[in-house]
Chain A
C-alpha cells in the first residue's frame, strides 16, 4: 500500500526566502505526482503535475521535482511571499492511473512579512 509522508508538518519563514517542501513515498510504481495548495477552509488548487516519465515541472516561482528511485519529490518556492502562506499537499496516483490519488498530510507554510 502506497504511503505518502510530508516533512516538515509546519514551516515558518521570513518573506523573501527560498524554501523546499519534501514529499516521500514508499512505492515507486507511480503514474503521476501532483502538488496542491489548500487555504484554510477551502478546497485544493492544483499547482504542478509531474508525469512518471518526467523529472521536474516549473510554474512561475514554483518548481517540483520527482526522483522515483529514491521515492522523493520536492516543491521549491522561490522568493516566498506572505500570500504563499497555505498548506501544501502532495499526492500520487499509481500504476495506470486508474487508482485514486493518495495524499500526504501536508506541510503548513507561514511566510512572515
Chain B
C-alpha cells in the first residue's frame, strides 16, 4: 500500500479552461475527502464521500466544481471555466471509517493548480 496518490502533481492552465484532478485513496478506505489550501492558510474542506455517496459539500464548492467517486474507489475533482482565484493546492485524504474508527485522515501529496 503506497498511501494516497494524487495526479497530476502540478497543473498550469489558462483562465477559462477546464481541469480535472484524480485521487486514489488507500485501499479499503471508504471515506475520501477533498480540501483546498492557499498559501499561508490551513486546508479548507470542499467535499467528502463515503463509498460512492457524496455526503457533504462546502459552500466553497461553487457550481463550477464537481466531484465524483463512481465506484467507491478513486475520485475526480473537476473545475470548469477556471478563474485565477482557483489557484491553490488541492488535497485529497482518505479514512477507514467504521465502528471502531479513530477518524484519522491520511493525506496525499496534493495537486497544485496555477491559473494564468
The interface residues of chain B lying within 8 Å CB-to-CB of A89 are 42-43
- For the complex formed, measure the closest distance between the CB of A75 and the CB atoms of chain B, giving whole angstroms: 15
Please tell me if B29 contacts chain A, counting CB pairs below 8 Å. no
Find out whether the CB atom of B45 lies under 8 angstroms from the CB atom of A100.
yes
| Chain A residue nearest to B101 in the complex (CB) | A97
| Chain B residue nearest to A102 in the complex (CB) | B45
Please tell me if A76 contacts chain B, counting CB pairs below 8 Å. no
Find out whether the CB atom of B107 lies under 8 angstroms from the CB atom of A103.
no
Please tell me if A66 contacts chain B, counting CB pairs below 8 Å. no
Interface of A is mostly: strand
Please tell me if B44 contacts chain A, counting CB pairs below 8 Å. yes
Find out whether the CB atom of A36 lies under 8 angstroms from the CB atom of B102.
no
The listed residue (B41, B45, B106) touching A105 by CB distance below 8 A is: B41
Interface size class on chain B is 20 to 34
- Which residues 68-112 of A sit at the B interface, judged by CB distance below 8 A? 89, 91, 93, 97-106
The interface residues of chain B lying within 8 Å CB-to-CB of A106 are 42
| Chain A residue nearest to B55 in the complex (CB) | A98
Please tell me if B74 contacts chain A, counting CB pairs below 8 Å. no
Q: Could you list 14 A-B pairs, sorted by A, with CB under 8 Å?
A: A4-B42, A41-B112, A43-B91, A43-B108, A44-B43, A44-B91, A44-B107, A45-B107, A97-B101, A97-B103, A100-B33, A100-B56, A101-B33, A105-B40
Residues of A within 8 A of B (CB): 4, 31-32, 34, 36, 41-46, 49, 51, 89, 91, 93, 97-106
Given A46-B104, A89-B42, A99-B56, 8 other A-B contacts at CB below 8 A? A43-B4, A43-B91, A43-B107, A46-B106, A91-B43, A97-B101, A97-B103, A103-B42
